[in-house]
Amino acid sequence: MSVETTTQTKPKLATPPNYKVVLLNDDYTPMDFVLYILKRFFRKSDAEANQIMLEAHQKGVSIAGIYPFEEAETKYHQVLREAKKEGHPLRVTLEPE
């Protein structure tokens, strides 16, 4: 009689990835508006907001923040809604970390 043994391994649940909210540069959105967005929705200090805004301005993209999906999605919509309300073409994207 043979005895079968199995090795029990604890199933590893993949942890959901966080998402980067990526700020994209454009030629029309005022720098002050980008700073306002970073401070209001991403809770950045003046210095942090300046750094993030300038990086997007100079390099084309910059990370506004990294959050669990639903939070990232909320911020994405908040930014687009505010930009639309003020008539600015500011764009952001979501990227898995």
Q: Does 63 bind ligand TYC (CB under 6 A)?
A: no
Q: Does 25 bind ligand TYC (CB under 6 A)?
A: yes
C-beta separation of 53 from 38 below 8 A: yes
Q: Does 57 bind ligand TYC (CB under 6 A)?
A: yes
Q: Does 29 bind ligand TYC (CB under 6 A)?
A: yes
Size of the site for ligand TYC (CB under 6 A): 13
Among 22, 38, 49, 53, binds ligand TYC (CB under 6 A): 53
Q: Does 26 bind ligand TYC (CB under 6 A)?
A: yes
Nearer to ligand TYC, 19 or 62 (CB): 62
- Contacts of 29-35 with CB under 8 Å at 24 or more apart are 29/83, 29/88, 29/89, 29/90, 30/88, 31/57, 33/83, 33/86, 33/88, 33/90, 34/90
Q: Does 24 bind ligand TYC (CB under 6 A)?
A: yes
Among 22, 38, 72, 90, binds ligand TYC (CB under 6 A): 90
